[in-house]
Structure 1
């Protein structure tokens, strides 16, 4: 096949009546077969074609993760146009930048609220001919039309047949931890290669059930969309974060991908709940956790688990781990983590509980999926082996270079930035890493985010941040600071969903402003920092810290949509506190 729409057409021909998608409805969950998906996509594509979508044009999607996002994306691609993605959390100005920079002529918006956002900057969008609203009403001026009204006449198959492998499929704007967003140009062949690579691992099959909540505006979500079409896996789609826990229990998926922050939050909730209950329950949990980690480490070494440990583990599983797995529906074969580093401590906890997290690595610029731990050869602390067809090189300064068919065409309208990122077909990732004896990739840190102290020592902040978060269940985010300073400091935010029950049980204030300076709260955070400091070189230990009253969020601009810290934003916003660490 030569394109994503032709991939979909092949899937429909192979398994027309198999379930393709499951999604929330008024009566619980509804579903579509692959044949029904094809019919919906055909009608939408012909309707978009009548609005002007065709080869060489771009259509922006401004919507949260839901079934209509996938149908809209597939319909846009079927016209020969390319999809441009916008996060629903983007401001009107940010949305306008993506729409104008990409040259989008049509915008598909989720609801009237998002339409209002676009209307507020309409004067800046002279190239936009129509806005299509999914949940909302058409406008009197004809500029806004409804999703359900899209229809048209034409030769759908001829449109699909005309799409070439090297045609642009998506423009994904990197949210970026620094600088202005850049539009990454990814072709149909980039995505087809990525899907082929995952299929080559033989890890998932048509009998699996995938739960998708990740932002489809992000390259990781887009990769999952294409992979499931290629393999024929049913996907349950619901992007509402507050429904993840409930959905897992109802849907009972066999695998799910998530950003590490989700696993950190689950881990912290479980640990804090056990600590709050105390007594025998806490002792059993602590023993079971230690037993599970012993078994996990033996597995990683490829060593046999002693008979006595196997007996202990069976008891730990019955008393603790089986209950944890039941929270996830009881059928999870593995999780996949990406987009940010996952701490080894948290990975081993989940693995010991029979909920293995396969950490992977990839960039938007390389079609999202390039390395992944395999279920039968997990090594925590690494992002696994290259996917089939992905090439890797480590440059002299430790920078990871990636080659292969998944590498982007370039940055949209930015020839100089493209030339700097692509060198003789190799993508400069900006990440520092090394390959172990088995060829697994171990990432040290972001090249641009390494801290160099005034004493000339280099420190990897995300490594320290991950370890501190794993050591204290009450911590939401950690920001390690110290570039060109004489020692390292940190800002800490609290996970109030976890902290509040503990604070109430301990008769402490239950609001972040009061808690952040409370001796008990500071003692809990300090204990975690001291624990991490204990095995660090002196120059990389955290000497001072402050607890902030407000968490970092996407909405406040301190996190990217994939939940990575925007370091420059945090430094600018909390500069006075950071400077105060070094006043004396």
Structure 2
């Protein structure tokens, strides 16, 4: 069987129950290990970019100029009575973007590295980066890499136990953090004896600094400015002698932990540089130094980390934003980050793209009958590529939609989980081509990435040139390599695949995780398409057998149902004795309220505009409306009857990493969700 376009089979004939190995068609004979000769470490990327683009803007950020509070009234039902409460919302007023050049950033990294060395941070030590996605995250990361210090990552949304784990397991000697995270750190530092240095950026309150000093008098607590001054004044010898080697550990990146304690994935400079080389080989012709990349995903997430390194290598300007300040709606007296930075490239997880789609549709629905009809007519014309008219629709209608993302966006990538066909198509038609990728921390973020040249909805693209892939039978679910098309569990191998987990020999020696011949078993089920691209169709651990004996794939169903206009997030749930699944739904509040005002369902007698969300969620007629709309989406995706929802439970509490209901990477914490809503789930099934 041959797939000449995207990937090709290599090596010996397939073994029973396995497909042949596949590699990218752009590099079938050798797996990529570097972006160019002489680039062997993260430190080399820093030096290369500074030499090649010294005076070009490298990284940009915005300062908070003011915090504005606005008070609003909400109506709640308390003990059957209507109660009006006042709530206060906070909004930021932000400065224009400010920048540091590539050469300026390199010099600042060297100063911080000198400061770390003068503090006694030795080669091979592990330094934790527990901070938000900012210039200073990268500053500390590069400073550590340049002197042979390994970083361990910690999501800024981690609770006390998660932070303690990421500090204690790798015996971190220090931690870099933000002032707003110091209170959490102060609560765990007494139980992390290896930590001897705490560095924070910006300004911290005296009270929290005193609490750290009381808990651990032996710990040095310094501001980043103090470290910079220390580095400037230091008489430390030439740091070149401490430059890292290719085989050195650059990062212990902790997974977001959907199934227990986060695992520390060991990534060497060789792993990361191979991944960067693969990005350049695979997508380099589509990426340019005059592009502008908006960064807002957590840098503790491998996709963001490798993407930023790759674009830094190419000399691209990166601007940092935050989820809460991306749009104009979330700021005051200034533009949101998208409007202010006007990116040409963006990378996001499905939750981001779903939110953008629903935001656009929400504005369209409120724009009036004529405007709404014009939009949908234009959408149909462009979707069907009607000659001339589609270009007119693009210029007149969709240029206004694109203006909401800055007007320059030309390419976007979705990773982290599957994006629904409907959302990918909507965004690709109305705003920008959205490509999908597939990967994990263990693969340095990217196993496959779709390119514009191979564009097809639902596909996650072809193998990255640093990875080879084979499919292996999953007989209990009838995913077989003998099927047409070939299906099976995705196994990966190559220079950008981790060598194992930190201090987890139980997993590193488990052939069900790492095979003796070097394959990593992902647990995902894939399918080779006729064009040589891969589609992820399932995840083994999230297969559930219903009472009829057939399996359903929870993640696949969620990716489709999430495109429902009333859904902000969804967790599909099923038990073996059920005929069909049910779902927990956190609703898209704006779209739900708009629908209840303009076309309320039979039996709805509430106040859609002023009632609080919990009152709306408890209304049976609203639940029925959301269920009906979800199943309409499922039917349009050709779901079988057993894949349609039997019931929905609407939850008014947002699912956040802070609540423990999703991971920092926005993946569902199924056990936590099932536990929190166990009574509602039981009631839904019994009904």
TM-score normalised by length of structure 1: 0.93
Gap regions ≥5 residues in structure 1: 296-308
Shift in alpha-carbon separation, 1:104–1:224, aligned structure 2, 3 A: same
Counterpart contact for 2:435–2:451, Cα < 8 Å: yes
Query: Once the 2 structures are TM-superposed, how far is the Cα of residue 321 of structure 1 from its aligned partner?
Result: 1.0
Deviations 1:461-487 (A, max 9, x none): 1222222221x3221111111132322
Counterpart contact for 1:213–1:241, Cα < 8 Å: no
1:32 is aligned to 2:100: yes
Counterpart contact for 1:59–1:105, Cα < 8 Å: yes
Query: Once the 2 structures are TM-superposed, how far is the Cα of residue 497 of structure 1 from its aligned partner?
Result: 4.2
Deviations 1:479-510 (A, max 9, x none): 11113232211111112244445556675254
Counterpart contact for 1:552–1:558, Cα < 8 Å: yes
In the other structure, the counterpart of 1:374 is: 451
Query: Once the 2 structures are TM-superposed, how far is the Cα of residue 354 of structure 1 from its aligned partner?
Result: 4.4
Deviations 1:4-59 (A, max 9, x none): 01221122122211221111136522111111011100010111112232222100
Extract structure 1 runs of 4+ deviating beyond 3 A.
137-142, 497-507, 517-520
1:205 is aligned to 2:288: yes
Aligned pairs, number: 568
From 444, 448, 452, the counterpart of 2:537: 444
Counterpart contact for 1:495–1:551, Cα < 8 Å: no
Cα RMSD of the aligned pairs, angstroms, is 1.9
In the other structure, the counterpart of 2:372 is: 282
**Separation (CA, whole Å) in 2 of partners of 1:77 and 1:578:** 48
Higher relative contact order (CA 8 A, sep 6+): 2
TM-score normalised by length of structure 2: 0.79
1:456 is aligned to 2:524: no
In the other structure, the counterpart of 1:300 is: none
Deviations 1:163-210 (A, max 9, x none): 111110111111122122110000011110111111112221211111
Structure ranking higher in helix proportion: 1
In the other structure, the counterpart of 1:143 is: 220
In the other structure, the counterpart of 2:13 is: none
**Separation (CA, whole Å) in 2 of partners of 1:289 and 1:551:** 32
Structure label with greater radius of gyration = 2
Deviations 1:137-171 (A, max 9, x none): 5667562111111123324542453x111110111
**Separation (CA, whole Å) in 2 of partners of 1:109 and 1:354:** 36
Deviations 1:528-553 (A, max 9, x none): 22313433222222112221222222
Query: Once the 2 structures are TM-superposed, how far is the Cα of residue 527 of structure 1 from its aligned partner?
Result: 2.8
**Separation (CA, whole Å) in 1 of partners of 2:337 and 2:527:** 38
**Separation (CA, whole Å) in 1 of partners of 2:591 and 2:509:** 46
Query: Once the 2 structures are TM-superposed, how far is the Cα of residue 520 of structure 1 from its aligned partner?
Result: 5.3
- Superposed, 1:536-551 pairs within 5 Å as 536-551=639-654
In the other structure, the counterpart of 1:248 is: 338
Shift in alpha-carbon separation, 1:530–1:91, aligned structure 2, 3 A: closer
From 122, 138, 151, the counterpart of 1:54: 122
Residue aligned with 2:660, SS: coil
In the other structure, the counterpart of 2:673 is: 570
Counterpart contact for 1:130–1:144, Cα < 8 Å: yes
**Separation (CA, whole Å) in 2 of partners of 1:172 and 1:95:** 13
1:63 is aligned to 2:131: yes
Gap regions ≥5 residues in structure 2: 1-38, 66-94, 329-335, 475-487, 600-606
From 646, 650, 655, the counterpart of 1:552: 655
In the other structure, the counterpart of 1:22 is: 60
In the other structure, the counterpart of 1:480 is: 572
Shift in alpha-carbon separation, 1:210–1:156, aligned structure 2, 3 A: farther
**Separation (CA, whole Å) in 2 of partners of 1:432 and 1:408:** 20
**Separation (CA, whole Å) in 1 of partners of 2:356 and 2:62:** 23
**Separation (CA, whole Å) in 1 of partners of 2:51 and 2:639:** 57
Counterpart contact for 1:276–1:505, Cα < 8 Å: no
Instruction: Out of 4-13 and 363-372, give the one that drifted further.
Output: 4-13
Shift in alpha-carbon separation, 1:49–1:482, aligned structure 2, 3 A: same
**Separation (CA, whole Å) in 2 of partners of 1:452 and 1:468:** 19
**Separation (CA, whole Å) in 1 of partners of 2:118 and 2:129:** 18
Query: Once the 2 structures are TM-superposed, how far is the Cα of residue 260 of structure 1 from its aligned partner?
Result: 1.1
